[in-house]
Amino acid sequence: MEREKLIIFDTTLRDGEQAPGFSMTVEEKVKMAQQLERLNVDVIEAGFAAASEGDFEAVRKVAENIKTSIVCSLARALNSDIEKAGEALAPAERRRIHTFIATSPIHMQYKLKMKPEEVLERAVQAVKYALNFTDDVEFSAEDAFRSEREFLYRVFEAVINAGAKTINVPDTVGYATPEEFGKLIADIKNNVPNIDKAVISVHCHNDLGLAVANSLSAVKNGARQVHCTINGIGERAGNAALEEVVMAIKVRHDYFKEVYTEINTKEIYKTSRLLCRITGSFVQPNKAIVGDNAFAHEAGIHQHGILAHRETYEIMRAEDVGVPASKIILGKHSGRHAFKTRLTELGYNLPEEKIDILFAKFKKLADKKKEVFDEDIEALIFEEIASEIPSKIKLNYFHVLSGDNVIPTATVKIQKDEEEIISTSCGDGPIDSAINALEKALNIKGKLIDYSIRSLSSGKDAMGEVRVMVRFEDTDMITSGKGTSTDIIEASIKAYLDAYNRYIARKTLMEKRVIEGI
């Protein structure tokens, strides 16, 4: 059987952006659209041109900057909406107008206040008018799943005759189940006489957590376009997640024998992360495909299986979606095999009896911590093997001057062995100037890889915890540090010093390892 292409219609910039907290500026929409083009999305719905001047400008800017993907604008079945869409899409090399009107009894009665025949007439008129601006017109029957079947068939037949090349079947309120939705698509194929002249598309919402399942059921029953969004964002509970639909088709190609997509899956993770940065949102750790835990393993049985043969517990490679590699997370559920493998990866070839001692200490530590990091392991090794622990550098005093009309300046006093060092430096803000003063005192340069802050308690005098990840000097070694205080600047200084002390400990241990062949 020759596979057919499944068209991926991305509506992150339109339906996705309608979710509370996901608004984007024009520039951010363009940046996101360019990444969607690198992902090789077939259709990018850039917005709802008639909704506002901002949306109009966003659609126009995306149309000006996208060269290979089709750029689409949503429009109600109104001439004014369609004109706005056509005008905004004018610069696009490939353009589509997506016009819609509701067809369910509840929508027609309470929202549109129109009779079915009026809705049918409006739908046909909208498609014909849109053809004045492009020959690529998509028609959506809003709330199609809750529409009366015979009326839905009549509407689709009429709009196809009017010139619509794609008919879209939305489960607008996420009410369908996979079996029901798949049957609806099959029924449309069997009851709309001219359906062979149009592509059947679906647009599923996730109110019951079934958007992806419903979309895939539709594909099995003849749909050849799927509306979806990055990370599944969208109205209410969101839309079908693009990454899940695409990877289901790719991984289960034995089941979805009929179709393929042209998505560049190696760009999936990067696209997901870009959306998070632009919107300030996060995906939950256990989110399929792009969550932090999607390719992470902590249970000892799973870790042993993965290390022996990846496919024992992974159905896809992390690299296939752009994640650098699977992660073996060391924690209280990890086994000796995973621990020994991590030791080897860190460059430690230790005798079995030494590994047994370290593993026992590791398990005790893992009971106290959610995750054990490389520097924790090396600290255990250092404690077991090194003859002396390097002196820790401590903070004795700090003072920061900052404000609207002054250059942020910080003075720190640190204790290094018996020596007390005082240093002063400026920076872009109080924390930056404090870190610069520290580096000056330590005579070292570090690159801050990550900085995070969280409150450990409530109230205006709450304790704050700062975590940092720093790469010191020109090494590949990244060390983390943690500091707590009711003063966030003090917590930041403590975290940076903690990272530096860990760096010195690891560096000393590595030098000892080279000398003594540990």
Note whether 153 and 189 are within 8 A (CB): no
**What tens digit of pLDDT does each residue of 164-182 get?**
999 999 999 999 999 999 9
The set of residues, in sequence order, having a beta carbon less than 8 Å from that of 221 and lying 6+ positions away, is: 182, 183, 185, 186, 189
The set of residues, in sequence order, having a beta carbon less than 8 Å from that of 222 and lying 6+ positions away, is: 185, 186, 188, 189, 200
**What tens digit of pLDDT does each residue of 109-166 get?**
999 999 999 999 999 999 999 999 999 999 999 999 999 999 999 999 999 999 999 9
Which position has the higher pLDDT, 405 or 82?
Answer: 82
Same domain? For 84 and 177 the reply is yes
Q: Is 203 annotated as a binding residue?
A: yes
- Percent of the chain, pLDDT > 90? 56
* 516, part of any domain: no
* 512, part of any domain: no
Same domain? For 111 and 142 the reply is yes
- State the chain's mean pLDDT as an integer: 85
Q: How many domains would you assign to the chain?
A: 3
Least Cα distance to 434 among 395, 486, 392 occurs for 395
* 473, part of any domain: yes
Amino acid at 440: K
Check residue 141 and give its pLDDT: 98
Q: H/E element holding 222?
A: none
Check residue 281 and give its pLDDT: 78
Q: DSSP letters of 303-318? A: HHHHHH-GGGT-SS-G
Same domain? For 268 and 379 the reply is no
* CA separation for the pair 304, 326 (Å, rounded): 13
Q: Is 15 annotated as a binding residue?
A: yes
Note whether 139 and 164 are within 8 A (CB): yes
Same domain? For 159 and 24 the reply is yes
Same domain? For 113 and 15 the reply is yes
Check residue 371 and give its pLDDT: 61
Same domain? For 271 and 332 the reply is no
CATH of the domain at 459: 3.30.160.270
Helices (H), 146-283: 149-162, 178-191, 211-220, 242-251, 268-279
229 pLDDT more than 80: yes
Measured CA to CA in angstroms, residue 179 lies from 214, 217, 225, 244, 287 at distances of: 8, 7, 18, 19, 24
* CA separation for the pair 242, 233 (Å, rounded): 10
Q: Kindly state the tokens that stand for 415.
A: 């204790």
Check residue 291 and give its pLDDT: 76
Same domain? For 260 and 185 the reply is yes
Same domain? For 154 and 236 the reply is yes
Same domain? For 346 and 378 the reply is yes
Q: Which range is least confidently modeled, 61-75, 377-391, 496-510? A: 377-391
Check residue 324 and give its pLDDT: 57
Structural domain of residue 420, as residue ranges? Answer: 394-493
Same domain? For 37 and 177 the reply is yes
**What tens digit of pLDDT does each residue of 230-276 get?**
999 999 999 999 999 999 999 999 999 999 999 999 999 889 988 98
Decide which of 249, 279, 309 is a domain's last residue: 279
**What tens digit of pLDDT does each residue of 327-361 get?**
545 656 667 777 777 777 666 677 788 778 877 87
Decide which of 361, 385, 409 is a domain's last residue: 385
| pLDDT tier for residue 278 given thresholds of 50, 70 and 90 | confident
CATH of the domain at 116: 3.20.20.70
Same domain? For 365 and 398 the reply is no
* 498, part of any domain: no
